[in-house]
């Protein structure tokens, strides 16, 4: 039987995954107590499978070793948090950023700065430390509409044999992404208006 690419470190990965999920639950509970609404629609977490990690090592030209899996590739632990509103994405991001045992290695704000194809999400690479060492984790934060678009875009591009005008398909996907982004901003503005007692005001999300 082939030795695990994670060596004897799988328990550490599980501990970090659970720790981050507990922290996400903590901010969810606090925000729900304040507003009466859970800010998270759903949350998914996983330890990257052996096959996926080995394939990623090969793709990056790295040896298929425990060192590569734990120190060269940063998504052995992966968590995706899907929120109803844009501001909730940033509230959860801010909470994770303040954790004393967490160092932000990299952040990419694809919500304010969408990819050319229209993809929107907030990505964080975190280094979570304890007395035993450190584990890296990738966090993806996005709204429901951003998550739906990403799933459909992935299906259309990678799960099917696309025939016809691929440039037109790409343009339509980008148009759909922009329309959904506009809807996200409108929904955030509506929530802000309701929370302010019906006094219409400009949402902070409108700067996105």
pLDDT tens-digit readout, 124-165? 999 999 877 899 999 999 999 999 999 988 877 765 566 667
Same-domain pairing of 162 and 198? yes
pLDDT band of 10, cuts 50, 70, 90:
very high
Same domain, 171 and 124: no
For residue 72, is pLDDT > 60? yes
Which residues span the domain enclosing 163? Answer: 147-207
CA distance 190 to 24: 25
> How far, in Å, CA of 155 to CA of 169, rounded?
13
Query: What's the CATH number where 95 sits?
Result: 3.30.460.10
Q: What is the pLDDT of residues 27-57, one digit of tens each?
A: 999 999 998 999 999 999 999 999 999 999 9
| 170-198 tens-digit pLDDT | 888 999 999 999 999 999 999 999 888 76
β-strands 77-83, 133-143: how paired? parallel
Which pLDDT score, from 0 to 100, does residue 206 have?
43
pLDDT computed for residue 17 by the predictor: 97
My answer on whether 153 and 114 are in the same domain is no
**For position 140, what pLDDT does the model report?**
98
pTM: 0.88
Unique residue bearing structure tokens 């980008």: 174
């Amino acid at each position: 039987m082939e030795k695990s690419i994670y060596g004897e470190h799988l328990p550490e990965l599980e501990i970090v995954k659970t720790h981050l999920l507990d922290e996400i639950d903590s901010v969810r509970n606090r925000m729900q107590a304040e507003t009466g609404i859970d800010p998270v629609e759903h949350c998914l977490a996983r330890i990257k499978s052996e096959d996926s990690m080995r394939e990623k090592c090969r793709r990056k030209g790295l040896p298929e070793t425990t060192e590569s899996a734990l120190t060269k590739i940063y998504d052995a632990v992966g968590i995706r948090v899907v929120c109803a509103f844009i501001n909730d994405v940033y509230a959860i991001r801010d909470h994770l950023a303040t954790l004393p045992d967490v160092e932000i290695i990299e952040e990419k704000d694809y919500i304010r700065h969408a990819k050319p194809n229209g993809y929107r999400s907030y990505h964080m690479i975190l280094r979570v430390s304890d007395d035993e060492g450190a584990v890296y984790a990738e966090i993806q934060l996005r709204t429901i509409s951003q998550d739906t678009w990403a799933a459909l875009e992935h299906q259309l591009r990678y799960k099917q044999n696309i025939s016809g005008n691929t440039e037109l398909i790409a343009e339509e996907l980008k148009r759909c992404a922009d329309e959904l982004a506009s809807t996200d901003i409108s929904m955030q503005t509506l929530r802000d208006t309701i929370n302010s007692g019906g006094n219409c005001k400009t949402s902070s999300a409108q700067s996105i």
